[in-house]
Amino acid sequence: MIRTVRHLADGREIIYFDESPRERIAVDSRDLPPVAASSEIRRDPLSGEWVAMAAHRQTRTYKPPADLCPLDPSGPDRPTEIPESDYDVVVFENRFPSFSQHVTGDPSTVDAMGLVPTAPGRGRAEVVCFTSDHNGSFGTLAPERVRTVVDAWADRTEFLSTVEGVEQVFPFENRGEEIGVTLSHPHGQIYAYPFVTPKTRRALDTARAYQEEHGRHVLGDVLAAEQKSGTRVIAEGEHWTAFVPPAARWPVHVLLVPRRQVPDIPALTDAERDDFAQVYLQVLRRCDALYDRPLPYIAGWNQAPVRIDRELGWLHLELFSILRAKDKLKYLAGSESGMAVWINDATPEQIAERLRAAG
């Protein structure tokens, strides 16, 4: 992989990850105003969780026609976010970031009693384009391209973990209009959070308690149990196992777990990265065959925090979908949205059987 760093017209960084040597000399010819991020975080006094405020994102690009996609390569008369006429994988700073290194201000509160602390939403938000093919998808990538994406995720995780104030790095992909995607080009994002996310904190607390009681990692034991049973296993490789979690919350819900405990993507070996590409493509193709249509999904990497409890982390990818039938969505209604108590319309065993049959 060849890594080339350039800059866009407004100063944002863009990084090309090429599979063969290419000269990257195209210049962004657009007349762009400086990025004006105003991200803020506030801590909810009732839950203790941080909430991000990013009102400037209301003006972000929304469902442009295919011939105006900002993630396509640039053409002679149509400059885009990627100045080059072609690319393999490219990463650039989001023009409408949820978190930014350039946010100014000091910690404060929103009330005289100090109940709601606030702070600048310092961090970083990046866009990852998986291919220059507008009509492609992650599931149609070649294994070699998936490996390039994994290497790009590792590169960005490693860098973002050094950014001042960043506590957790989260690479993810949103796919499909039902999920809320506003750009149809195959792409994902990376958020560098200025705090450890609530979900990760709960998982770490659970792992710590299990470790103290049993002397082992809870995900390692879950993985071993799933491999032994095989009932919910979807795909397996030499280093990775994909299975429906035994308490699945979503109509389609899969975990991809490496057999070796590692904290994050940079810690994966070459062999583990190659094997991930093979296993993940199997999972994605089964997902798209499930309802004989492209499956809308969210796929996100659960990585250890940057600075704390890294020994409790066990890297894994979680993929889930709100599509419960070809033309029916799973809505997060009263119980799910109001009380965070999921009620699934299918058992994990049924989900696994359907995904295996779809293969």
Element (H, E) at 52: strand 50-53
For residue 51, what are the β-bridge partners?
A: 42
Q: Is 316 noted as a catalytic residue in this protein?
A: no
Distance CA 310, CA 88 (A): 32
C-alpha distances (whole Å) from 154 to each of 24, 67, 75, 276 are 22, 31, 30, 13
Sheet holding 40-43, edge to edge: 50-53, 40-43, 117-120, 108-109
Distance CA 289, CA 159 (A): 36
Nearest CA to 15 out of 117, 84, 103 is that of: 84
Q: Which amino acid is at 20?
A: S
Distance CA 105, CA 123 (A): 13
Distance CA 295, CA 288 (A): 5
Q: Which amino acid is at 259?
A: R
Strand duo 40-43 + 50-53: pairing: antiparallel
Distance CA 49, CA 279 (A): 35
- DSSP-assigned states of every residue in 233-302: EEEE-SSEEEE--TT--SSEEEEEEESS--SSGGG--HHHHHHHHHHHHHHHHHHHHHTTSPPPEEEEEE
Q: Which amino acid is at 213?
A: E
Element (H, E) at 169: strand 168-175
Active-site entry in 185, 187, 239, 316:
187
- DSSP-assigned states of every residue in 221-243: HHHHHHHHH-TTEEEE-SSEEEE
Angle at 288 between CA 222 and CA 178, to 5 degrees: 95
Other CB atoms within 10 Å distance of the CB of residue 293: 12
Q: How many residues does this entry show for the chain?
A: 359
Active site residues: 187
